[in-house]
C-alpha cells in the first residue's frame, strides 16, 4: 500500500496535492494543529487527518511510522528571522531525522524559486535564505542515508482559483482608485497550482534522475509584477477591463510602503522582506530540470485565470 504523510496538506497547494494523490491511489495522512483547518480535504476518501504539532520531533517520527513517503509543503511568507528559521530550516532538519528514525525513504520538499543552496547568504531576503538553508539540511540528511530519495521542487509564484495573488490584485483594484506598486519591474513566471500538485505526484512515482534532484516549476510565460496587476484587472473586468492606473514606486518609497503595511493588523499585503525577495527576478534559471522532466506541459496563466477572475454573470 502506498502511504504518504503530507505536511501542509490543508493549505492552498496542499488540498490540490491531496486530491491528485487520492486519484493516483495513495493513502494520505494529513497532520493539522486544529481539526477545523482540515475542511478542504475531509471529503477525500483515502485521507486521514490527525491533530498534532509537526514541530514536535517525537510526534513527527511517530506519525511517519508505516508510511513510504512524505511531502513537505509547510512555509510562511512573513515573519521574523527566528520564525523563518523555525519553519524553513528547523522543521526540515527534524523531518530528515524523523524519516531516518521511521525508515521512510522518500521525501518531496517544496522550496521556492530563487532559493540558493550553494550560497544561501547571497539571497537578498530572510525568506529566500531560509529556503536555501532548508534545502541544505535536507540534502545533508539524504546523503547520510543511502537509498534515500529526495526531490526539491522550486515553484515560482503559484496561481489558481483560490490564490491570494491574482485574486488579491483584482480585489484591491475594485476598491482603490490607483495602485502604487513596489517592485513593479520584477519578473515572474507564474505556475498553475494543478501543475505543482502534478509535479509532487510525479516525483513520488519515481523513475527520475539521481537523488537529490532540484526541479524548477515555472509556467510558460514571463510577466512583470506591473503586467500581472494590470492583467488581473483586465480579466476581472475592473473598470470595463481597463483596471486602475499602476504607479511604480522607487525603491525607497517601496520600503516605506512595505513598512506601513507591516503595521496593519493581520498578515501584511507586502513586507520589507517580500520586497527584498523581489530584488531578483522570479524566473527559471535554465540550468536545472523543469516541469518537462516530469512529463508535464506547463499551463498558460491567462486562459486559466480568466476562468476564475471573470465577473459572474
Write out the three cell numbers for 307: 476562468
Measured over the CA atoms of residue 121, residue 123, residue 126 and residue 130, the dihedral's sign is negative
Q: What's the rounded Cα separation, in Å, for the pair 291 and 304?
A: 18
Q: How confident is the model at residue 196 (pLDDT cuts 50, 70, 90)?
A: very high
Please give the domain boundaries of the chain with CATH numbers for all domains. 3-158+192-217 (3.40.50.720), 159-188+221-282+299-309 (3.90.25)
What pLDDT score was predicted for residue 313? 60
Measured over the CA atoms of residue 16, residue 233, residue 217 and residue 11, the dihedral's sign is negative
Strand pairing of 187-188 and 223-224? antiparallel
Q: Are 161 and 194 spatial neighbours (Cβ–Cβ below 8 Å)? A: no
Query: Range with the lowest mean pLDDT among 136-140, 184-188, 265-269?
Result: 265-269
149-184 pLDDT, tens digit per residue, is: 999 999 999 999 999 999 999 999 999 999 999 999
Q: What is the pTM of this model?
A: 0.96
Strand pairing of 69-72 and 47-51? unpaired
Is 148 a residue whose pLDDT tops 80? Answer: yes
Write out the three cell numbers for 266: 493581520
Write out the three cell numbers for 201: 505526484
Q: What is the mean pLDDT of residues 115-125?
A: 92
Amino acid at each position: 500500500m502506498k502511504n504518504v504523510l503530507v505536511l501542509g496538506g490543508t493549505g492552498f497547494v496542499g488540498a490540490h496535492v491531496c486530491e491528485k494523490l487520492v486519484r493516483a491511489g495513495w493513502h494520505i495522512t494529513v497532520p493539522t494543529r486544529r481539526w477545523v483547518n482540515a475542511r478542504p480535504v475531509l471529503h477525500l476518501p483515502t485521507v486521514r487527518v490527525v491533530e498534532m504539532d509537526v514541530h514536535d520531533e517525537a510526534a513527527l517520527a511517530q506519525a511517519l511510522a508505516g508510511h513510504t513517503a512524505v511531502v513537505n509543503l509547510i512555509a510562511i511568507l512573513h515573519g521574523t528571522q527566528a520564525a523563518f528559521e523555525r519553519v524553513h530550516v528547523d522543521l526540515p532538519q527534524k523531518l530528515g531525522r524523523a524519516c531516518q528514525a521511521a525508515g521512510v525513504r522518500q521525501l518531496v520538499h517544496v522550496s521556492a524559486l530563487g532559493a540558493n543552496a550553494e550560497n544561501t547568504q547571497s539571497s537578498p531576503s530572510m525568506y529566500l535564505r531560509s529556503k536555501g538553508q532548508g534545502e541544505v539540511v535536507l540534502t545533508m540528511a539524504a546523503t547520510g542515508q543511502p537509498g534515500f530519495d529526495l526531490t526539491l521542487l522550486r515553484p515560482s509564484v503559484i496561481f489558481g482559483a483560490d490564490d491570494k495573488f491574482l485574486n488579491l490584485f483584482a480585489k484591491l483594484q475594485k476598491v482603490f482608485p490607483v495602485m502604487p506598486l513596489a517592485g513593479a519591474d520584477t519578473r515572474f513566471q507564474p505556475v498553475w497550482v494543478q501543475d505543482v500538485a502534478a509535479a509532487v505526484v510525479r516525483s513520488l512515482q519515481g523513475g527520475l534522475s539521481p537523488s537529490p534532484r532540484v526541479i524548477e516549476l515555472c509556467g510558460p510565460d514571463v510577466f512583470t509584477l506591473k503586467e500581472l496587476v494590470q492583467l488581473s484587472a483586465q480579466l476581472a473586468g475592473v473598470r470595463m477591463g481597463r483596471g486602475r492606473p499602476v504607479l511604480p514606486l522607487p525603491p525607497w518609497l517601496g520600503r516605506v510602503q512595505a513598512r506601513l503595511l507591516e503595521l496593519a493588523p493581520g498578515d501584511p499585503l507586502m513586507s520589507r522582506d517580500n520586497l527584498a525577495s523581489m530584488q531578483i527576478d522570479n524566473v527559471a534559471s535554465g540550468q536545472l530540470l523543469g516541469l518537462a522532466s516530469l512529463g508535464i506541459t506547463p499551463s498558460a496563466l491567462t486562459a486559466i485565470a480568466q476562468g476564475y477572475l471573470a465577473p459572474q454573470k
